[in-house]
Amino acid sequence: MKARPILFNTDMVKAILAGQKTQTRRALRDQPPANMSDALRVGAGPFEAVRKSGMFRFANKKNGDMWPEGPLICPYGQPGDLLYVREAFSGPHCMEATEDFPALAPSVWPKDCGIHYWADGNPFYGDWTRPRPSIHMPRWASRLTLEITDVRVERLQGISELDAIHEGIAVPERLPCGAWSHDAVQEFCELWDSIYSNWDANPWVWVVEFKAHHCNVDALLREREAA
């Protein structure tokens, strides 16, 4: 079992905390050639292990070409691996620079210094540093751990209405006029473009399904080791 960091913006952290988000899509760093039409799951061992593996190759159904030569392994992990969430945060204001001392980087903040998570809204009390980008969150400060339950590859625009909801988009409601309050896929499209700006390119994406644990990754690992 491996543990890796993953970044989420504030809205997506809120959706995870509320139990509304159980999937995330991330574009493949290296996109397959344009003539590749299918993503095939590969792996060694019994059928169940192959079905759940996070390794893939792309195929051209017409001529049998494959890409790449070896399996493409999901960089976010395999089913059973853990992802610890990095989100926007602040520490006590005493960590900021003063006339006598430079600011302390979050990586060297004491673990008992206290953390404010901006997904929880503006703080009601306390004197905090400016909001820090999620990429700077130390592992010990993470409060959400995602256990990967499945990995697959698909085209971005192949997302279904149900999967868009599992991405954290609000469930559409039926209006008195008979129409729906919103289109979950369209809202996901707008969300994607607000972050990556390439919906129209329809890239191949990793689809990572997960179960959220509301605790630090190392606390979860210790708990499992003790069990």
Look at residue 51 in the predicted model and tell me its pLDDT.
Answer: 52
Per-residue pLDDT of 40-86, as tens digits, reads 877 655 444 445 567 888 888 788 788 888 888 899 999 999 999 99
Alpha helices (H) along the chain: 10-17, 47-52, 161-166, 184-195, 217-226
What are the angstrom distances between the C-alpha of 209 and each of 67, 78, 212?
24, 10, 10
First to last CA, the chain: 15
- pTM equals 0.87
Q: Does domain 3-29+75-84+142-226 have CATH number 1.10.287.1080?
A: no
Domain(s) labelled CATH 2.30.130.30 in the chain stretch across 3-29+75-84+142-226
CA 208 to CA 149: how far, in whole Å? Answer: 8
Please give the pLDDT value at position 176. 58
pLDDT beyond 60 at 24: yes
What DSSP designation does 86 have?
Answer: E
Q: How would residue 144 be classed by pLDDT, with cut points 50, 70 and 90?
A: very high
Kindly state the average pLDDT of the residues 138-152.
Answer: 96
Burial class (CB in 10 A: 0-12, 13-18, 19+), 100: exposed
Evaluate if residue 38 carries a pLDDT over 90. no
CB–CB of 144/214 below 8 Å?
Answer: yes
Strands 55-59 and 66-73: antiparallel
Residue bearing the bigger pLDDT, 96 or 56: 56
* Per-residue model confidence as pLDDT tens digits over 172-188: 665 555 455 568 899 99
- Which one is predicted more confidently, 113 or 180? 113
